[in-house]
Chains A and B, each alone.
Chain A
Amino acid sequence: MVLQRPSRVYFSVMAVLPSFVLFLLLVIPAFAKEPITFEEISEQAARAVAQDRSNDAIRLFRAGLKLHPGWAEGWWSLGTLFYDQDRFSDAAAAFRRFLPLTPKRGPAYAFLALCEYETRDLDQSLRHFRAWASSGWPGTRETIDVAVFHFALLLTREGKFVEALYLLTPEVVKMGNTPALTEAMGLASLRMRNLPEDCPPERREMVWLAGQAAAYAEHFPPDYARADEYADRLLVHYDTQPEVHFFRGTLFNFEKKNSAEAEREFRKELGISPDHVPAMLELAAIDLGDDNLEEASTLAKRAIQVDPQNAEAHHIMGRVWLAKDQPEPAAAELETAKRLAPTSSNVRSHLAIAYGKLGRVQEAKAEAALAISLKKKEDVPTTPQEKLKLATEPEQR
């Protein structure tokens, strides 16, 4: 093909070029512009970065790293340069090389996790976001915002919807209802284990409406009127879809409105999704509050049957036994709840009551003391990230 001809000529020239270049380098060293020593290379690489010559910088860092593979700063710079060019696979490789070379791994975990998100290595990405969180959520404001957003998306995919919303809320307060945040809020609010990129197209409007409603409810101050407007639109078109009524009920509870409205929505959700554990638990808590112990007991038992590892289900069951003045089964349920949620002050305080009723005074005292200490920690004003730390670390779950 004629179009290829110039290229072929060029390749032929290139075949003899190395010998010619070598000749020049040997005969006239002053003509050699490429840096030779590591120091020269690193200096020129830094200059290329400062002058925004990314491709030159990449070439120079690569050359420097060939000479000194243990050059931590080189790997870091190479990673960030690739990241800025959206070359996430190359960036991830550089950050992986950087990590063992540095004691300060925090920001690199965030960048590596972001790269892995982009290359769809999602489990690894979540693991590295958790490592980033464990190292204190370090980074610039911009890095933290981007990392928190993607961390939240992966928590949603993992089914950790409350934790995801916890992370997204401060971003909404800061940035408002951006399209990306709205979508992320919608997915978590509707308890959909999807990333935005794989949300089924037919559910897009539903996600957007729920996201708008959730986001306006999280504004500071909250804009409940607008939240209700979107939630009502959601109901108009998606009345029969799973999760919609649970979301509406949660929003009613959030707005501290008449719980009868919330209760009605939770019951509707159970009508659509008979195995909906969070709806069962919301209703069981309402029944418990209203002293409808049999109904509360039925719902809590059913919730345990569907999801035996749900701490709140065991907690409510324990509270039902306590309300029925049966401390022995209450203690058994609450001990299970404690095992599943060791940092819950409410579980500890109810367990203390159960032990007290059983005459196990020392254990009751110990649990009560722990409940107080945990409650104090819960009440200390802290960033959502710090509060989330325990919730998002896998070993704590």
Chain B
Amino acid sequence: MIGLPQQRKTLCRRMSLLVKMAFLVLTMLATSEAGHATTPQSFQQLSAAADRARERSRDDDAIQLYRQALALRPESAECLWYLGLLLYAKNQFFPARDALRTFVALRPETGAAWAFLGLSEFQVREYARALDHLRRAMATGMGDDEDLKQSVFYSVSILLSRLEQYDDSIGMLGAIVNTKQCDDVIIEADGLAGLRMPLLPSEIPQDRNELVRLAGKGVCAAQQGRVDDALKSFTTMRDSFPKEPGVHFLVGSFLMNTRPEEGIAEMKRELEISASHVPARNRLAEQYTKSGQYEDALKSAREAEKLEPKNFSVNITLGEALLAKGDTAEGIKELETARERAPENTRIRWDLARAYTAIGRTEDAKREKQELERLQQQNNFTDAKQE
């Protein structure tokens, strides 16, 4: 089962992890320490005694000795690393965080350290920083510890929802369920992201537990391609909670590709409940563009733009609707605005490349294609690293 180490794992498991992590960084540390001016015997003695205490599972002694050693040499990466891990294993997340922060400042290339730092920050509820540092761990690579990686992936996905980045959260969870069952932990996280609730699983109000569970079951089934199961969960959810914000949007998003008429009806129902729902308007506009109802598409997209003038997704939808309608100049303008706001977005580059080609701006089209290839390569590389 995937989960936060504090909640899910035994101390034994953690200690085994410590040893594994130690292996990851020790080679690097052996050379790095040599760069420092030498210090009195006492540092050597203290750190050696700390190592011995740690090896014999006398964690409290080890922590004390590492602290004493660090008082003599505050930037001993080896001592900081072990101190951070021991404190983390003992659920002392504030001091663990501080030790690991100093460690990553000295050794920023150690992905596992970013991971433990991010997990410590998660525990002390510094969520924005935790997300940054866990993402850094993913980008740097965390060795071959599957438990650590899963903890990091799971934590990132629930933090993304907490910080209102729901689509990214669903994307991460989708990657996790490729290789796993839809267990309760994943279902909760999927439910929150699907309903666009900016909460952690521990923050779900009691009266919404069932709603989140049904939504999560549906999302997870959809992620695994079990369409009938997904539809069953979504239908039960909609019938049980017809007035809850987010419910009809979720059902509508699911239905839009296979049963667009029903999808549109669900989106409209969502807008009756949540009048300012921008993603529902955006999704409607996309669907209208797809079915050639350009005026409806533009109306919906313009409403979304009015609500969130700086939302690049709305610029994309608007741009695509204008292009489809034949208003190439305005469409390109919208897409260029979207590109300015989200330069790493591949869909914008693809749209622009096609639009420039259509009006003979071959150089611009070429540039967009090159950028698209670069971004795709970059994404593949990141994916591979995360794999």
A179 touches B44 (CB 8 A): no
Measured in the bound complex, the distance between the Cα atoms of B19 and A55 in whole Å is 27
A205 touches B199 (CB 8 A): yes
A6 touches B27 (CB 8 A): yes
What distance in Å separates the Cβ of B260 from its nearest Cβ neighbour in chain A? 27
Which chain A residue lies CB-closest to B22? A3
- Chief secondary structure at chain B's binding surface: helix
> Which residues of B have CB within 8 Å of A233?
245
Measured in the bound complex, the distance between the Cα atoms of B209 and A154 in whole Å is 33
B358 at the interface (CB under 8 A from A): no
Interface positions of B from 59 to 102, Cβ below 8 Å from A: 78, 94, 98, 101-102
B26 touches A10 (CB 8 A): no
Which chain B residue lies CB-closest to A198? B125
Interface positions of A from 1 to 15, Cβ below 8 Å from B: 1, 3-4, 6-8, 10-11, 13-15
> Which residues of A have CB within 8 Å of B310?
176
A196 at the interface (CB under 8 A from B): yes
* A-contact 0/1 string along B230-265, CB 8 Å cutoff: 000000000000000100000000000000000000
A179 touches B163 (CB 8 A): yes
Known contacts A10-B30, A15-B44, A197-B124: does B203 contact A204 (CB below 8 Å)? yes
> Which residues of A have CB within 8 Å of B276?
225-226, 229
> Which residues of A have CB within 8 Å of B126?
197
Known contacts A204-B203, A237-B205: does B22 contact A18 (CB below 8 Å)? no
Known contacts A7-B29, A87-B101, A179-B163: does B274 contact A229 (CB below 8 Å)? yes
Choose the segment among B33-41, B181-189, B295-303, B318-326 that binds chain A (4+ C-beta atoms closer than 8 Å). B33-41
A54 at the interface (CB under 8 A from B): yes
Which chain B residue lies CB-closest to A204? B203
A6 touches B105 (CB 8 A): no
Known contacts A6-B26, A176-B310: does B38 contact A15 (CB below 8 Å)? yes
A6 touches B55 (CB 8 A): no
B23 touches A3 (CB 8 A): yes
B11 at the interface (CB under 8 A from A): no
Known contacts A4-B55, A7-B30: does B205 contact A205 (CB below 8 Å)? yes
Interface positions of A from 126 to 177, Cβ below 8 Å from B: 176
Known contacts A4-B55, A87-B105, A179-B164: does B38 contact A14 (CB below 8 Å)? yes
A32 at the interface (CB under 8 A from B): no
Measured in the bound complex, the distance between the Cα atoms of B123 and A197 in whole Å is 10
B15 at the interface (CB under 8 A from A): no
A289 at the interface (CB under 8 A from B): no
Measured in the bound complex, the distance between the Cα atoms of B197 and A376 in whole Å is 46
A86 touches B197 (CB 8 A): no
Measured in the bound complex, the distance between the Cα atoms of B198 and A188 in whole Å is 19
Which chain A residue lies CB-closest to B38? A18
A89 at the interface (CB under 8 A from B): yes
Measured in the bound complex, the distance between the Cα atoms of B276 and A6 in whole Å is 62
A197 touches B125 (CB 8 A): yes
Known contacts A3-B26, A237-B207: does B199 contact A55 (CB below 8 Å)? no
Partner of B307, one of A21, A180, A205, A226: A226
Interface size on B (CB < 8 Å)? 47
B30 touches A6 (CB 8 A): yes
B172 at the interface (CB under 8 A from A): no
B129 at the interface (CB under 8 A from A): yes
Measured in the bound complex, the distance between the Cα atoms of B130 and A197 in whole Å is 12
> Which residues of A have CB within 8 Å of B342?
none
B98 touches A89 (CB 8 A): yes
* B-contact 0/1 string along A206-238, CB 8 Å cutoff: 001000000000000000011001000100010
* B-contact 0/1 string along A353-364, CB 8 Å cutoff: 000000000000
What distance in Å separates the Cβ of B382 from its nearest Cβ neighbour in chain A? 24
> Which residues of A have CB within 8 Å of B41?
15
B106 touches A55 (CB 8 A): yes
A201 at the interface (CB under 8 A from B): yes
* B-contact 0/1 string along A60-91, CB 8 Å cutoff: 00000000000000000000000001110110
> Which residues of A have CB within 8 Å of B200?
201, 204
Name, among B41, B94, B98, B163, the residue most crowded by chain A CB atoms within 10 Å (CB to CB): B98
B202 at the interface (CB under 8 A from A): yes
What distance in Å separates the Cβ of B225 from its nearest Cβ neighbour in chain A? 32
B51 at the interface (CB under 8 A from A): yes
A196 touches B44 (CB 8 A): no
Known contacts A6-B27, A7-B30, A204-B199: does B55 contact A1 (CB below 8 Å)? yes
Measured in the bound complex, the distance between the Cα atoms of B206 and A197 in whole Å is 21
Known contacts A7-B78, A55-B105, A201-B200: does B275 contact A225 (CB below 8 Å)? yes
Which chain B residue lies CB-closest to A226? B276
B105 touches A85 (CB 8 A): yes
Which chain A residue lies CB-closest to B101? A86
What distance in Å separates the Cβ of A83 from its nearest Cβ neighbour in chain B? 11
Measured in the bound complex, the distance between the Cα atoms of B27 and A10 in whole Å is 11
B47 at the interface (CB under 8 A from A): yes
> Which residues of A have CB within 8 Å of B274?
229
> Which residues of B have CB within 8 Å of A7?
26, 29-30, 33, 51, 78
11 contacts across the A-B interface (CB closer than 8 A): A1-B55, A6-B30, A7-B33, A176-B310, A179-B162, A197-B124, A197-B126, A201-B200, A202-B206, A208-B198, A226-B276
Known pairs A197-B125, A208-B199; list 10 more (Cβ under 8 Å): A3-B22, A4-B55, A7-B30, A14-B38, A14-B44, A86-B105, A87-B102, A89-B98, A204-B203, A237-B207
Report the 4 A-B pairs with minimum CB-CB distance, sorted nearest first. A85-B105, A18-B38, A204-B203, A201-B203
